[in-house]
A and B are shown apart, each in its own frame.
Chain A
Amino acid sequence: MPHHIAWFDRHDPALEPVLGGKNTSLGIMTMAGLPVPPGFAVTATAYVKALHDTGVAGALAAMVGGLDVTDGVALARVATEARDTITGTPLPPWLADEVDEAYATISERRGQADLPVAVRSSATCEDQPDASFAGEHDTYLWVRGADALRDHVRRCWASLYTERAICYRRQMGYGEDGAAMSVGIQQMVLPKASGVAFTLNPLNGDRSQIAIDASWGLGEAVVSGSVTPDNFLVDKVMGDITSRVISDKTVEHVLDEDDRVVEREVDEERRTAASLTDDEVRAVAALARRAEKHYGRPQDVEWAIDGAAPADEAVVLLQSRPETVWSRKARVASPDSANTFQSIVHNLLHPSGSQTVHLH
């Protein structure tokens, strides 16, 4: 039986090709016992079958097939048309039923009717180490109710047909028929603060450090760059916080009175206050380290501090991707370092690190 819905806590590696990078990662992390908010994926299998059953697939193929992507006007027109076609076509009943049922299940399990969820696209060619599609597809926050959920599943699908996405796919040599979208649906946490963490120092590739960017509210402000986040460096092995740069955090993404995520100004006294306590910094670092250990390679993680959860389980992991910059140019010792005497002479001549500081 084809799998249209895949729960993260029953992750099946065989399904990874139809889950996309992001959902695969959420499934793997959930199975590894990492604190990932619960959720499920609507697989790419469902996407393909739904578009086929509703006739949308054929329409899209006709629209994009002959398109010259260098023709900006045509590209814009086709992209809009394609997205409208996807969002304007209801899910086929078999899939609507399956999505509704899964949503009811998670709402019930979490004890909240119309559980607020995040709906994230997870393209099947996204987040490969050699071609980061990060940011190319959409994420919707605080989606409530089955109607809205189904609606946003289609919007995620449609995000495969932005001008940028069409163009990018063409440039990277991904075929149009291979482009498929899985959608992740995950319980929403309302964070006190959130951000990203690298399990190495992005400035110099030092793998003994974890770099954390943090700001108030939802992580969108950090990820989109609309705020200069606080930055912390944590020594991975010793556990010490070796650097704290507290920034002026002007805006935050929070929930307004109408149950919508909005960007608003941060009130005066919190702007220049640290968005994480030292204990929280260490907890985030420990979580990032767990993700790295699990994958056995440097990770780039998104995390949040759930304001509603008890302190010891407040840090949640939203995403973990392989780090792509330094992974490809790992720090190496100088070539003669294995020759003891050349190396001793080298180190005598060039005392390292804190030992050498230029005077002028």
Chain B
Amino acid sequence: MPDRFPSPFEVVTPTGAEGWEELYGYSTVFSEDRRELEDSMFWFMDGVHTPEAIEPWDATVLDFALTFLGQYTTRHYVIPPALGVDIRYLNGHMYLSPVPVTDPAEIEARVPEFAERAGYYFANWPTLYDAWMDKIKGVIGELEAIDFQPLPHREDMSVITEGRGIGSGQLMMFEYDKLVQLTARLWAHHFEFLNLGYAAYLDFFGFCKQIWPSIPDQAIAKMVAGIDVDLFRPDEELKKLAQLAVDLGIGDRITSDAAGTLAAMDADDAGKKWATAWDEAHHPWFNFSSGSGFYHSDRVWAEYPDIPMGFIESYVAKLGRGESLARPIEAIEAERDRLVAEYSELIDDDETRATFDGKLGLARVVFPYVENHNFYVEHWGMSLVWRKMRQLGQILTDAGFFGKADDIFLLRRNEVPDAIFDYFHGWAVGIPSRGPAYWGREIPRRQGIMQALRSWSAPPALGVPPEVITEPFSVMLWGVTSDSVKAWLGGSDSPDGTLSGFAASPGVAEGPARVVLTAEGISELQAGEILVAPLTAPSWAPVFGKIAATVTDVGGIMSHAAIVCREYGLPAVTGTAFGTKNIKTGQRLRVDGNTGQVTVLD
């Protein structure tokens, strides 16, 4: 078994992808300028959020996300053992490297600052969280207001009469700058709370593991998890719509063809009433991505209404079979209380019990953020970012720059102002822009590069792994552990036909596998099948009503699959690394969510 992964400097460029480096920022590709440093670091691919090659503009979001993660850890809260997480693109795939603080004296020296700074947030969490909600909704409001308009043949007369003195071309430039700034703010706020939230959760987690070495991870999660979580709202809305359709006696009109369904609804008052409810649910809850939210190509419900309509159709069918859609909220609450009472009872002394109560209390205070931020940032906020970018892309397409609106994502963020300027300049001067010719050549070339990068088989990691993965955020955010590194190196001890991962949601289930690589594939899932996917997104929630269990390649116990499966009472094993590679659709599986083992039975 090899003890290291390839050096980033020995990885070759796939044929047809020559020149790919120009598609990413110069500071986020490996280079001779920092070779010694970069070669000494351990890099892993972020299979949780970005399992595939990343188009140039999409890298904007990742660059921002990782920069803000680092900023809060390193400069705001001075988290003692961790600096930021570095980011590089290699053959279009994103690799990450958490930077630890290794000198014990330095760690110790950072503790007082951390206590003061993080302590302020912990002590004032509810107030700061309320303020966060206002801030994030403010950013979202501003994103909603972003509006790109084609440059007019003549400026409106009002520009003259109001003496505005600036025109549509400048406004388009400003508007794009604003969009980039808002995207940055979105991600700054994302990480304002996240690592503190995780740190408090990990503290409770570690405490429980210390007292009860064998306590299942999901028991700890269940004691902390919230009941009323915004992340579940989109799915709740679909259930309500399904129930409404059944109550109105028009359930049979709903098919996965949203346009057809809505046309059929227009026939009578009952249908119109339902269509109104559908429209009301749209905002904001259909700003919900079928993916991680990091790809512009992730399908958002608002743009792909067939997806939520298909889910409603399956819920209507479920109601028709007499099944209930309601989440057993009282049962979930009762179970949460039972767990806390039982574990508390297992503690012998009052002092330890007080510590348990204190840590559980803090974990519960911070957890709503951990659970909810995802809807506001990755789903709602990012849906808007992609939508507004597409609006701009369409204008440039109409101006002959691109073949289609989505071509704009083949530009780096700092190239977009140049393209806008070109369009603006040609319009202002009254001559043709260079764009149609320039991008007419460049876009197909880049498409070719992306094509080659997409079919490149990315190694899961690069460089020399540390003896032990202890970097907490690697584990918590990316599910990267010493075990997964070992599995990537090909040294998995698992016997043939078994895979191990995180015991993410308890229970044992058997059934036929359905390997689903993208959101488009989820419609193939049949009742009783076991979903095997690279990862799942919260918007897949409706499929959890019919599957028997979930297996993912990536993700830890706080991954979407883990959270949703616990919610639905389904067994889940996450972070198996090779699930989608080793398992074939139709194979019978046994998924043991208690031990994290997946067995192929035939």
Contacts and interface: CB of A to CB of B under 8 A. Distances in A.
A346 interface: yes
A334 B214 contact: no
A240 B122 CA distance: 35
Interface stretch (A120-128, A146-154, A156-164, A229-237): A229-237
Interface string B347-359: 0110110110011
A224 interface: no
Interface stretch (A34-42, A93-101, A181-189, A206-214): A206-214
A358 B209 contact: no
Interface stretch (A172-180, A265-273, A299-307, A335-343): A335-343
A352 B115 contact: no
A207 B215 CA distance: 9
Nearest to A347: B206
Interface string B78-113: 011110000000000000000000000001000100
Given A208-B346, A333-B207, A341-B119, A359 B486 contact: yes
A352 B210 contact: yes
B212 A342 contact: no
Contacts of A359: 465, 467-468, 482, 485-486
Contacts of B362: 340
A77 to B, nearest CB: 48
Interface string A321-360: 0000000001111100110111111111111111111111
Contacts of B81: 345, 348-349
Interface centre among A208, A237, A345 (most CB of B within 10 A): A237
Contacts of B209: 352-353
B216 A340 contact: no
Interface stretch (B195-203, B319-327, B387-395): B195-203
B468 A337 contact: no
Interface in B327-373: 339, 342-343, 346, 348-349, 351-352, 354-355, 358-359, 362
A342 B111 contact: yes
Interface in B474-493: 475, 481-483, 485-486
Contacts of A352: 205-206, 209-210
B212 A357 contact: no
Nearest to A209: B214
Nearest to A235: B216
Contact of A207 (B205, B346, B358, B486): B346
B8 interface: no
B210 A351 contact: no
A14 interface: no
Interface string A234-260: 011110111000000000000000000
A204 interface: yes
B207 A357 contact: no
Interface in B144-178: none
B118 interface: yes
A201 interface: yes
B214 A350 contact: no
B351 A207 contact: no
Given A236-B346, A355-B481, A359-B485, A347 B202 contact: yes
Interface in B487-511: 502-503, 506
B107 A345 contact: yes
Contacts of B503: 354
Nearest to A241: B594
A242 B595 contact: yes
A358 B482 contact: yes
Taking residues whose C-beta sits less than 8 angstroms from the other chain, chain A's interface range is: 35 or more
B430 interface: no
Contacts of A350: 206, 470
Interface in B183-235: 199-200, 202-203, 205-207, 209-217, 219
Contacts of B132: none
Contact of A238 (B119, B219, B349): B219
Main SS at interface, chain B: helix
Contacts of A237: 215, 219, 339, 342-343, 346
Contacts of B207: 333, 337, 343, 347
Contacts of A332: 211, 349, 352
Interface in B210-263: 210-217, 219
Contacts, number: 152
Contacts of B200: 344
B203 A340 contact: yes
B117 to A, nearest CB: 10
A243 to B, nearest CB: 8
A11 B219 CA distance: 39
A346 B206 contact: yes
B472 interface: yes
Contact of B111 (A337, A345, A354): A345
A269 B468 CA distance: 44
B208 to A, nearest CB: 8
B114 interface: yes
Contacts of A345: 80-81, 107, 111, 114
Contact of B214 (A201, A344, A355, A357): A201
B111 A208 contact: no
Most buried by B among A242, A338, A349: A349
Given A342-B111, A357-B483, A359-B467, A208 B215 contact: yes
B480 to A, nearest CB: 10
A182 B448 CA distance: 90
Given A337-B207, A345-B81, A208 B343 contact: yes
Contacts of B205: 347, 352-353
Nearest to A331: B211
Contacts of B111: 341-342, 345
Nearest to B210: A333
A340 B475 CA distance: 21
A355 B210 CA distance: 12
Interface in B409-440: none
Given A207-B346, A208-B346, A359-B482, A344 B594 contact: no
A330 B206 CA distance: 18
Given A341-B115, A342-B111, A358-B468, A347 B219 contact: no
Contacts of B358: 338, 340
A238 B220 CA distance: 11
A358 B467 contact: yes
A233 B594 contact: no
Interface in A61-110: none
A354 B502 contact: yes
A206 B346 CA distance: 9
Given A237-B342, A343-B207, A345-B81, A333 B202 contact: no
A352 B472 CA distance: 10
B341 to A, nearest CB: 9
A238 B339 CA distance: 8
Interface centre among B213, B343, B352 (most CB of A within 10 A): B213
A242 B219 CA distance: 13
B342 to A, nearest CB: 5
A346 B107 CA distance: 11
A349 B107 CA distance: 10
A354 B502 CA distance: 9
Given A347-B206, A351-B475, A206 B82 contact: no
Contacts of A242: 214, 216, 594-595
Interface of A: 201, 204, 206-209, 233, 235-238, 240-242, 330-334, 337-338, 340-360
Given A344-B202, A360-B467, 13 more contacts: A206-B213, A208-B346, A237-B339, A237-B343, A331-B211, A343-B207, A345-B81, A345-B111, A345-B114, A347-B202, A348-B82, A350-B470, A353-B213
5 contacts: A332-B211, A344-B118, A344-B200, A352-B206, A356-B468
Q: Which 4 A-B pairs have the closest CB atoms?
A: A347-B206, A352-B209, A353-B209, A208-B212
Interface of B: 79-82, 107, 111, 114-115, 118-119, 122, 199-200, 202-203, 205-207, 209-217, 219, 339, 342-343, 346, 348-349, 351-352, 354-355, 358-359, 362, 465, 467-470, 472, 475, 481-483, 485-486, 502-503, 506, 594-595
